[in-house]
Structure 1
Amino acid sequence: MRRRVVLAAPDPQYAAKLARFLKENEPEWEVAAFTQEASLARHLKDAQRADALVVQSSMLERAREEAERAGWRGKGIVLADRPGEREPAPGWAEVAQYQALSRVVAELRSLVCEGGGREAGDARGTPVWTVFSASGGAGKTAVSLNLVRQACERGYRTLYLNLELLNATELLFGTGEPDSLSRLLYALQAGPERVRDEWERLRRRHPWLQADYLDAPDDPSERLAMTTERLKQLLSALTSLGTYDLIVADPDSGASDWHLELLAGSDRVVWLTVDDALCLRKAEKLCRHWQDELFARPGKVSFVRNKASGSSANRWSLPGAAPDGELPYIPQWKAIDQPSRLLQAPAFCGAVDRLLDGWGLVPSGRTAAETGT
């Protein structure tokens, strides 16, 4: 449903990131962002009625005056530094500004949409980002782990979900309980009420990753048994736990219905390519094959060139004029004797940081104690 939202916050960087995050997660919303009170006042006077006016608390007094003067009618929402600390403005709801953007968006959605929540048929909780490639060897696991670690460092409670047919992450995390995934899938079949208890027993946490994960299975039959319907049940259960702010999925490469279900159900697809003619050609064919399912929503798929080392030798043939970002080639990663070194390459960490900034995953403002790290 089309909705118009007016956003006002004095910090230009925050206003731009929140507006972009809203547009990416709610593509049917029209968002107008302002950082100056005078510009906001002119807009409220001249523009058509909006569904909601979202105002940072420092701009609230002037915004209310101008809204009343313009005869504006809609839902008023305050982005509060400390919700509940002051007497709320009559008729205005409060949303905490300094929390994960995913939560800010979820609360705004609930307040803006009639009846609360998203439109019927979409009950997603925690956002899912999937790191994908049309062919092997693109570095999905290394990229996934770096995204997870830096999301955690920004204050997001993050789950790393490896869904590869041949999962070798025991080399990184150590050997644990190899049938964790099958146990969790069994709990899903036994009843949703068992999932939370089973998850608390099976989930693991590693000190250098700072995120939760499942132990790698010894037998690929665990993943082979994961049907499209089971995948939907698994994602629904994990996103409904309320334990995480972000889930990063790391599947193997492929073009099956199972892969499409995962990517179509993800909030963001980080599609990795490398500067290789065969890799690019495979990605081009798969993009055409999945055009309607993945590319109808702008901003859902982000192409990232991994293992970049200088200018590209191949013409860019995928959607968009160029990749959304590049990640450098790290030759030391060919032989990892200490897993933590995957997360300690300054050039790579800096490139990942720039991607997260561009995708609106700003630091949430929570402390390490609050995130449990």
Structure 2
Amino acid sequence: MGKRVVLASAQREYVAKLAEYVREQEPEWDVAAFTYASALRMELQEGNRSVDLLIGEADLLREAGAAIDRARKVLALADGTMAAEEWASIDQYQPLPVLMTAIRTAIAGDRVASANECRIITVFSASGGTGKTTLALNMLRQAGERGLRTFYFNLEALNATSLLFGHGEPDSLSRLLYGLQAHPEQWDELFAATCRHQPYLRTDYIDAPDHPGERLALPSELLAEVLGRVRASGRYDLIVVDPDAGAGEWHRSLLGGSDQVVWLTTDDVQCLTKTDKLLRYWNASAEGLSDKLVFVMNKSQGQRSLNRWSLPGDGPAMSLPYVPQWKTVEQPGRLLGAPAFCGAVDELLEALGIRSRTPSAKRRKEADVRGPHRAFVRGAG
């Protein structure tokens, strides 16, 4: 007999769409949807079948009172501002495949990774050459130094990360995506077989394919499901996604499904103009992106900006310093050791709320060796 799942949301259109999607994905499940606490309470108290999973907005769950104890498992839908303290919770406004992954995970009895436990941060830019990958790798390394478990997902159609990671198995992503679609129940085995670890960066990753077609043909729904499953695995505290610059549907979907977006720009009129046009095209406010965006000015030389800031807000949240030595770097590993840039990335991690699990003596010693390196924060001298 299929599972019994009850959905509860005061938003009629939202809960109807979610219920329809769950029924399509799991035809054998018995799925019910409610928009009022009184009806939900009655169903839980008088229903003929036990409820395997109750998933709903925290306010409705609280209004239903003690009746929710009749459900075997409870998962709260958080609105992105505050997670419910009483239950495991997930962000309500995510792509349906991501929500479906969380529901399946909860049904299976595995630990559900909430937004507070594992965060997805995408490093993005509307223009190439802004330093996305360099920033992403530095964020991963320094998050690893803070004791966080991290996963790096490179989505660039053409990338050079093999110079740092090695060539590995270029068909890893293909095998993972095919396996996910053909045998979704074998996800854990598939992921374990394709996931690798980079000790210097202290991060897990999947080998990037040699052919750009693999990334260019990746559907938004499949990308969302992969990220959702990695997030729900409970193995990571932070996922850093590194896509190429672009205005495709999967780019917009990726940003919408991320917890935060570090949007890189430079003090260049073309880069600023492209960013402004892309935000207008996507209508960032209507898409719900505006609250997730953290604008960061890269390659700053510590001087007053030459171009007028035309993007949302009074200016970039902070700036990262220009490192002239990087123009002649032949070894990619050297992009991770510039003291001034490391100090600025530390401040960025703090601004994003990415803090140490436990301070270590090694971390404090390294900080002492580096010395104080102040980032070029807006408003600072």
Once residues 217 and 256 of structure 2 are traced to their aligned partners in structure 1, the CA distance between those partners, rounded to angstroms, is: 20
Deviations 1:70-117 (A, max 9, x none): xxxxx9xxxxxxxxxxxxxxxxxxxxxxxxxxxxxx9x834346xx52
Q: Which residue of 2 aligns with 1:328?
A: 321
What residue number does 1:91 align with?
A: none
Alpha-carbon contact 1:168-1:216 (below 8 Å) kept: no
In the alignment, structure 1 residue 281 sits paired with structure 2 residue 255: no
2 CA distance for matches of 1:293 and 1:222? 31
1:247 equivalent in alignment to 2:239 = yes
Number of residue-to-residue matches in the alignment? 267
| 3-state secondary structure, aligned to 2:239 | strand
Distance 2:352 2:273 in 1: 26
Number of the residue aligned with 1:127: 119
Aligned partners of 2:245, 2:358: CA distance in 1, in Å?
35
Residues 264 and 293 in structure 1, CA contact (< 8 A), matched pair in contact too? no
Q: Which residue of 1 aligns with 2:345?
A: 352
Deviations 1:141-183 (A, max 9, x none): 0010011111111111000100011122111111110111111
Pick aligned residue for 1:109 from 79, 83, 100 = 83
User: Is contact 2:124-2:261 (8 Å) kept?
Assistant: yes
State the partner residue of 2:148.
Answer: 156
The verdict on how the C-alpha distance between 1:109 and 1:366 changes in structure 2, with shifts beyond 3 A counting, is: farther
Pair 1:262 & 2:234 matched = no
Q: Which ranges of structure 2 fall in alignment gaps of 5 or more residues?
A: 1-8, 11-57, 60-64, 66-79, 103-112, 362-381
Structure 1 residue 119: Cα displacement: 6.7
Retained in 2: the 8 A contact 1:150–1:353?
yes
Cα distance in structure 2, aligned partners of 1:354 and 1:120: 29
Is residue 314 from structure 1 mapped to residue 300 from structure 2 by the alignment?
Answer: no
Read off the aligned partner of 2:189 and give its amino acid letter.
D
Q: Is the Cα contact below 8 Å between 2:255 and 2:289 reproduced in 1? A: no
Verify: 1:145 aligned to 2:137, yes or no: yes
Alpha-carbon distance change, 183 to 366 in structure 1, aligned in 2, over 3 angstroms: farther
- One-letter identity of the residue aligned with 1:212: D
Can you give the 5+ residue segments of structure 1 that lack an aligned partner in the other structure?
3-50, 53-74, 76-105, 369-373
TM-score, normalised relative to structure 2: 0.65
Change (3 A) 1:355 1:121: closer
Cα distance in 1 for partners of 2:169, 2:335 equals: 23
Q: What secondary structure is seen at the aligned counterpart in 1 of 2:85?
A: helix
Greater length-normalized contact order (CA 8 Å, ≥ 6 residues apart): 1
Counterpart in the other structure of 1:167: 159
Distance of 2:164 and 2:195 partners within structure 1: 16
Distance 2:156 2:299 in 1: 21
Deviation at 1:295, TM superposition (A): 6.7
Please list, as runs of the form range in 1=range in 2, the aligned pairs for 1:286-305 lying within 5 A after superposition. 286-292=278-284, 296=288, 299-305=291-297
AA partner of residue 130 (structure 1): T
Contact 2:256 2:288 in 1 (8 A): no
> Partner of 1:81 in structure 2?
none
Contact 2:256 2:287 in 1 (8 A): no
Aligned equivalents of 1:184 and 1:209: distance in 2?
23
Q: Is the 8 A contact 2:256 2:289 kept in 1?
A: no
Residues 41-92 of structure 1: CA deviation (Å, up to 9, x unaligned): xxxxxxxxxx99xxxxxxxxxxxxxxxxxxxxxx9xxxxxxxxxxxxxxxxx
**Structure 1 residues 238 and 197: alpha-carbon distance in aligned structure 2, compared to 1, 3 A threshold:** same
SS at 2:127 equivalent = coil
Which residue does 2:371 correspond to in 1? none
C-alpha contact 1:136 1:253 (8 A) present in aligned 2: yes
Shift of 1:287: 1.3
Q: Give the Cα separation in 1 of the matches to 2:204 and 2:360.
A: 18
Question: SS state of the match for residue 270, structure 1?
Answer: strand
Return the letter of the residue paired with 1:141: T
C-alpha distance in 2 between matches for 1:298 and 1:232: 20
**165, 177, 187: which is aligned to 2:179?**
187
CA distance in 1, matches of 2:191, 2:91: 29
| Stretches of 4+ aligned residues off by more than 3 angstroms | 118-125, 292-299
User: Kindly tell me: are residues 297 and 185 of structure 1, through their superposed partners in 2, closer, same or farther at Cα, counting changes over 3 Å?
Assistant: closer
- Note closer, same or farther for the CA distance 1:119–1:295 as it changes in structure 2 (3 Å cut): closer
Whole-Å separation in 2 of the counterparts to 1:294 and 1:240? 27
Contact 1:263 1:294 in 2 (8 A): no
Shift of 1:361: 1.1
CA 269–191 in structure 1, closer or farther in 2 if over 3 Å, else same? same
Tell me the CA shift for residue 338 of structure 1: 2.7
- The change in CA–CA distance for 1:178 and 1:250 in structure 2 (over 3 A counts) is same
Question: Which residue of structure 2 lines up, in the alignment, with residue 71 of structure 1?
Answer: none
Once the two structures are TM-superposed, the CA of residue 367 in structure 1 deviates from its matched residue by 6.7
User: Which letter maps to 1:188?
Assistant: L
The aligned residue for residue 229 of structure 1 is: 221
